[in-house]
Amino acid sequence: MAPLIDPFARAITYLRVSVTDRCDFRCTYCMAEHMQFLPKKDLLTLEELDRLCSTFIRLGVEKLRITGGEPLVRRDILTFFRSISRHLESGALKELTLTTNGSQLARFADDLAALGVRRVNVSLDTLDPAKFAAITRWGRLDQVMQGIRAATKAGLRVKINAVALKGFNEDELFSLLDWCAGEGHDLTFIEVMPMGEMGEEMRLDQYWPLKDLRARLAERFTLTDLAERTGGPARYVRIEETGQKVGFITPLTHNFCESCNRVRVTCTGELYMCLGQEDMADLRAPLRASEGDELLEQAIRAAIARKPKGHDFDYSRQKVAGQVSRHMSHTGG
C-alpha cells in the first residue's frame, strides 16, 4: 500500500479527527456564544469515523488525535475509542491521543487509559477561576482541575495547551509555568489564530506574539532549544534552572509548514489539507457511496495531492490576513 506523500515530498503520518462540533464551553477565541451546531444527520456516525480512520491508518497514518468541539461530549464516544484501539494492539497505530477542555476527564480518564491512550492535551489558559469563567463563558475551573487530577491518577501524561492572549493571561506566564512544573505537566503556548468570524479588531487585540512571550521567559531563565519533535507543530525549549520542557506553536511569527505531516478531518467528513486554507475534500460522500473503501481511498489520495506548501496567516501591518471563515471548533483543534 503506497504511503500518502504530498506534492512537497512530506509523508502524511498524523491525522486529527473531530468527532463533534459541540462543546460544553464557549471559549471567546474559538466560537460564538450562541453557536448554530450541525444537525445530527450531517455528522459521521461512530462506525463511519472508524472506517475513515482505519483507511488513513492503512495508508500510513501512525498518530491519531481525536478532537472536537469537545470530543468527550459525543454520545457513546468510548465505543469509538474501544474499536479504534485495535490498531494500537496490531502496531499499525503508534499513538492515540485526544485534545480536550478537561471538563469530562474525571468520568473518562480510567477508561481512556485502559483503551491505550497514554497522554492527553488539556486546553487551559488561566488558573484564575473568574477569568476562566469569563474566557470559557460556561466553564468551571474546579471541574477541569478535577479532570486533570483524574487523568494523572489514571496514568495519563497531561500536556497543558495555553493560548497566549494579550491583556488576559500575560500576567500568568510564570504562575502557569510554576504550576505545570509542580504538577509534572508539560506546557505549550499557542498564538491565537485568525479563524472564525470573530472580528478583525478582536483578533488584533488578542494577539500576543510568542517571540515576546519567549523573550520574557528568557529574562528570568536560561532557555535551550531542543531538537525534539512530537509529530505536531510545537517547537520546544528546556528551562535549564528547572529542567522543564516548554513548547511554542507559532503559526504567525514563525510558521511550521515546511515539516507539516498532518491533515484534519471534520465531524462531517471534510478533509482539510491545511488548517489555514479553505480548500477541502468531501470524504463523507465516498464513505457513504460504497461499503468498500476504494472510493474513499481514491478521494484521500486526490486530496493529499492538493496539499499546499503552507498557510497565509499574517497579523503584520495591523491587519488580519489569511483569515479563514470557519471556527476552530469546526475544523477540530
pLDDT for residue 205: 66
The CATH superfamily assigned to 14-331 is Aldolase class I (3.20.20.70)
pLDDT at 201 over 90: no
Angle, to 10 degrees, between the axis of helix 77-84 and the axis of helix 46-58? 30
pLDDT digits (tens, 9 = 90+) for 237-278: 999 998 999 999 886 545 567 778 999 999 999 999 987 777
* pTM exceeding the 0.85 threshold for the entire prediction: yes
Place of cell 491508518: 57
To the nearest 10°, report the CA torsion of 323, 327, 329, 333.
0
Q: Which amino acid is at 185?
A: H
Cβ-contact 173, 184 below 8 angstroms: no
Quote the CA–CA distance of 105 and 72 in Å, as a whole number. Answer: 8
Rg (CA), the chain: 19
Q: What are the sequence ranges of the domains in the chain?
A: 14-331
pLDDT at 333: 55
